[in-house]
Amino acid sequence: MHTPPLVGWLLVLLCAGAGAYCLSRMRTGPAAVRRTARGEGLMALGMAVMALPASAVAPPAWSPWLFTAVFGPAGLWALARRHLHHAVGMAAMVYMALAMAGMSGAHGAGGMAGMAGMAGAGGMDGMGGRAHAAPAGVPLLTGLLLAYYAVYVIAAGIRLAPAIGTATGAAAGPPVVLRACQVAMGIGMLAMLLAL
């Protein structure tokens, strides 16, 4: 993916924080909240690992297949349970893992390149900006996922704004924070898809 290491680390922090919170919510609350927290936590931690800059942690060559093995069945399970947003998220994780596997194979690198793995490939633009590298994945599919997450983030943010304004007391806090984590993860997914 084509982002600087700083952006990769910010995504790692965002996703790891959201994942840790979601996993902490897995044990309490109604069954629907626990299911949502479980799916969101799994995806957030996977996103955090995927966003690790390759300059810090060189991922093994088999890591895309591990992502596929974890998120493929999780996506099918979410689809069977009619959790369409989770199914789309898991499918996006599989898609990004496979796209990165193709990118790293095309450039002779082992494993996933991480969020900054391709930053040194290709020529630099005339302004000293980021490197020019061919995008990974299928542009149409990437565009559809970007459109989905853009609409999701805007809609979820609009729904979240009144809840933040009216949430008072500890009882109202956890559902609002869980929804805020979902918005943050949607923004993280947008950033990761843009970096393909």
pLDDT along the chain (196 residues), means of 10: 82 94 84 85 93 85 92 95 94 93 58 42 41 72 96 93 64 73 93 90
Mapped onto helix, strand or coil, the DSSP state of residue 72 is: helix
Residue 59 Ramachandran class (φ > 0 left, ψ -120 to 50 alpha, else beta): beta
Q: CB burial class (10 A; 0-12, 13-18, 19+) of residue 16?
A: middle
Say if residues 196 and 135 touch (Cβ distance below 8 Å). Answer: yes
DSSP string over 112-155: --BTTTTTTSSPBPTTS-SBP-PPPS-HHHHHHHHHHHHHHHHH
pLDDT at 2: 63
Distance CA 168, CA 182 (A): 20
Q: Do residues 137 and 96 lie in contact, with contact meaning Cβ atoms separated by under 8 Å? A: yes
pTM attached to this predicted model: 0.79
What whole-number distance in Å separates Cα of residue 30 and Cα of residue 142? 35
d(CA 1, CA 102): 11
Q: What is the pLDDT of residue 165?
A: 66
Q: Rounded distance, CA 171 to CA 131, Å?
A: 48
pLDDT at position 191, please? 93
**For position 119, what pLDDT does the model report?**
40
